[in-house]
Amino acid sequence: MSVFSLLRARTASDFADWFRPGGEYLLRVADGMGFHTGDLSGFIDEAETAMRANRTGADVAPAVNRLIAADLYADAAFGLPFLEWTPVWYELSLTAPTAYADWRLRRVADQYAATIDHLSLPRFSRPDDVVSRGSPAIESVSGFADRFAFADAILHLEWFDYVATACGIGVPPELIAEARDQTVGYYVGDLAMEDLDPTVRRLQYLLFTDDEWVRTIDERYGLGSSLFTLWERVCRRERERFSGA
C-alpha cells in the first residue's frame, strides 16, 4: 500500500479517519498555546460521528459543519503549494495524485460548508511569497530535509491560523506575523534558535507535532508509505529542535 491508495476515499465516512487527527492537532496546538477553545473537543467528537454516518449539511450543528469544512478545505489547499517548495522531481511525481486527493477533500468539505455562513477558502504561500534579502527565502536553505522542514514550518503556521480563526479561536494576528518573520529568519540562518521569542518557539514546537498527524493517518489508512515516514521523521526532528531536546 502507498499514499496513492488514499485516492479511493470518496465519501464523508471515508474521510472520518482523515478528519479526526486534524481536529486533534488543532486542539493540541490551541490548548498548548493557552487559547480559549470552548467546546472544541466535543465538536471534534460530534464531527467524527457525523462523518462516519455520512451525515452532512442541515443534519449537523453549524459549529460542527464549520469545523469539518475548515479542516478539510485547509488540507485540500495545503498539498499543491507544499510541493512547490520541494525539488522538481519530487513535485512532478506527486502533483497529479495530490491534485486529485485535494479535489476529493474539497467535494466533501463543500457538503459541510453548504449550510453555514460564508467561509473563505484558504490560500497558502508559494516559495515566491516568502522573501529574504530580496529573493525567495527557500534559495537560502539547502538540503531536501531542511527545505521540507522550512516549507512545513511556514505552511502549518498558515494552516493553523486559518482553521483556528474559522472556528472562532482567538489567535492574535501579531503572533502569527511575528512567528512567520522569525521562522523565516531561523531557516535562512539570520537567527539562532536561542534568538527566537519563547512564544514563537513554543508555537512552532506545537505545530511540529504534526508528526503525530502523519503517523496517525499512515496507521489509520494502512498506507505503509515511505513518503509519510519521511514526513514524520522530518517533523519529529524539528519538534525536538524547537523543544530544546
Higher pLDDT, 58 or 23: 23
The mean pLDDT value of the chain amounts to: 92
Q: Answer yes or no: is pLDDT of 7 > 80.
A: no
pLDDT tens across 141-193, in order? 999 999 999 999 999 999 999 999 999 999 999 999 999 999 999 999 999 99
Report which of 7, 220, 4 is spatially closest to residue 101, judged by C-alpha positions: 7
* Mean pLDDT confidence for 188-207: 97
Q: Answer yes or no: is pLDDT of 1 > 70.
A: no
pLDDT tens across 126-141, in order? 999 999 999 999 999 9
Q: Answer yes or no: is pLDDT of 2 > 50.
A: no
State residue 124's pLDDT score. Answer: 97
State residue 117's pLDDT score. Answer: 85
pLDDT tens across 231-240, in order? 899 999 999 9
Give the other-Cβ count within 10 Å of 187's Cβ. 23
pLDDT tens across 16-37, in order? 999 999 999 999 999 999 999 9
State residue 4's pLDDT score. Answer: 55
Query: DSSP assignment of the chain, as one string?
Result: --GGGGGG--STGGGHHHHHHHHHHHHHHHHHTT---TTHHHHHHHHHHHHHTT--GGGS-HHHHHHHHHHHHHHHHHHHHHHHTS-HHHHHHHHHHHHHHHHHHHHHHHHHHTTSS--PPP----GGGSEETTEEGGGG--SHHHHHHHHHHHHHHHHHHHHHHHTT----HHHHHHHHHHHHHHHHTSS-GGGS-HHHHHHHHHHTTHHHHHHHHHHHTT---HHHHHHHHHHHHHHHHHHT-
Q: Answer yes or no: is pLDDT of 245 > 90.
A: no
* Mean pLDDT confidence for 198-220: 94
Contact 48, 13 (CB under 8 A): no
State residue 183's pLDDT score. Answer: 98
Q: pTM of the entire structure?
A: 0.94
State residue 90's pLDDT score. Answer: 81
Q: What's the rounded Cα separation, in Å, for the pair 41 and 77? A: 24
